[in-house]
Structure 1
Amino acid sequence: MELEDAKQLVRDAIAAGIFCDLGSGSNVDLCIITDAGVQFLRGYDKPTTKGKREGRYRYEPGTTAILTKTETPLSLDVVDEFVQMMDAE
Structure 2
Amino acid sequence: MRREPTAPIVAKGDRARVLQHWSTVLGCEVPIGERVFPFASIRALSPEDFVKLLADMGVQGVVAGPDYRFGFKAAGDAQLLRELGAKHGLEVGIVDVVS
Query: Is TM more than 0.5 here?
Result: no
Higher relative contact order (CA 8 A, sep 6+): 2
More helix as a share of residues:
2
When Rg is computed on C-alpha atoms for both structures, the one with the higher figure is 1
